[in-house]
């Protein structure tokens, strides 16, 4: 995740730095500085799903619940470890990508400093978004008990559905686009967005966090009542 995300950010910035400096792309510089997280999301989703589905696949979930009968405790522990790990990985990925990509941007006179609007927030926000994605995948994994199914559903929701709803006419399409989990949550992880129609970073993340919390709550209730 770290190598992929940081490496892709550095590569993309190296490729577009000259065009950005010349104003040839029509896109804001800040939209590229955490670009690699677009693909690092996949790793976060897979890891989140595996946190629970791996034990169902091997049958180890029975041993886990025998050792710790309180299912709420098991789920809380998994969620804390997963979200903490992904938060740190997301921040490190964003920081390394910024350092690598910014070297090429600075060479063209368009580098971004931590003091620039939204830069520090986007580095920390990358960790928050990765943690949220992992928790969403974990919740879906609890509901479906299948790694492939959980990963497919979450990736389709984040990448596919978030773009398809743009095709809906009028204000309905506009608002659904804003509220889709990937669109709402990812805005916090970038200083500037390719899509100016998205919610502002913190309101968007609040929507994303609420959506994750709802799915987690449903998954927790299902987990507490369903046989292992």
Amino acid 1: pLDDT: 74
Average pLDDT over residues 150-169: 91
Measured CA distances, 152 to 156, 159, 215 (Å): 6, 10, 16
DSSP category for residue 35 = T
Percent of the chain with pLDDT strictly greater than 70: 99
Measured distance CA(178)–CA(228) in Å, rounded: 37
More confident residue, 155 or 196: 155
Query: pLDDT tens, 59-91?
Result: 777 777 777 778 888 899 999 999 999 999 999
Please tell me the predicted confidence (pLDDT) of residue 228.
Answer: 59
- The confidence score (pLDDT) of residue 227 equals 67
Question: What pLDDT sits at residue 209?
Answer: 98
> Which pLDDT value is given to residue 59?
76
Domain edges within the chain: 2-225
- Tell me the mean pLDDT in the region 153-163: 91
Higher pLDDT, 154 or 69: 154
- State yes or no: pLDDT of 217 exceeds 90: yes
Given a cut of 80, whether residue 9 has pLDDT beyond it is: yes
C-alpha dist (Å) from residue 178 to 32, 57, 64, 131, 165: 20, 36, 39, 20, 10
pLDDT digits 0-9 by tens, 95-131: 999 999 999 999 999 999 999 989 999 999 999 999 9
Q: What's the pTM value of the predicted model, to 2 decimals?
A: 0.91
């Amino acid at each position: 995740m770290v190598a992929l995300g940081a490496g892709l950010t550095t590569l993309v910035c190296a490729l577009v730095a000259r065009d950005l400096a010349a104003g040839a792309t029509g896109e804001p510089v800040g939209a590229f500085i955490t670009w690699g997280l677009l693909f690092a999301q996949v790793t976060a989703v897979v890891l989140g799903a595996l946190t629970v589905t791996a034990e169902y696949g091997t049958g180890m979930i029975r041993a886990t619940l025998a050792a710790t009968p309180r299912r709420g405790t098991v789920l809380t522990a998994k969620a804390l470890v997963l979200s903490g790990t992904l938060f740190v990985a997301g921040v490190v990925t964003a920081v390394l990508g910024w350092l690598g990509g910014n070297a090429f941007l600075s060479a063209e006179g368009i580098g971004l400093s931590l003091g620039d609007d939204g830069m520090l927030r986007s580095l920390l926000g990358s960790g928050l978004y990765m943690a949220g994605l992992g928790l969403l995948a974990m919740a879906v994994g609890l509901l479906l008990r299948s790694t492939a199914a959980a990963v497919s559903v979450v990736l389709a929701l984040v990448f596919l559905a978030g773009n398809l709803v743009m095709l809906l006419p009028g204000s309905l399409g506009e608002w659904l686009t804003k509220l889709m989990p990937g669109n709402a949550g990812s805005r916090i992880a970038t200083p500037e967005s390719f899509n100016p129609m998205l919610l502002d970073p913190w309101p968007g993340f609040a929507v994303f966090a609420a959506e994750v919390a709802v799915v987690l709550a449903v998954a927790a209730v299902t987990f507490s009542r369903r046989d292992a």
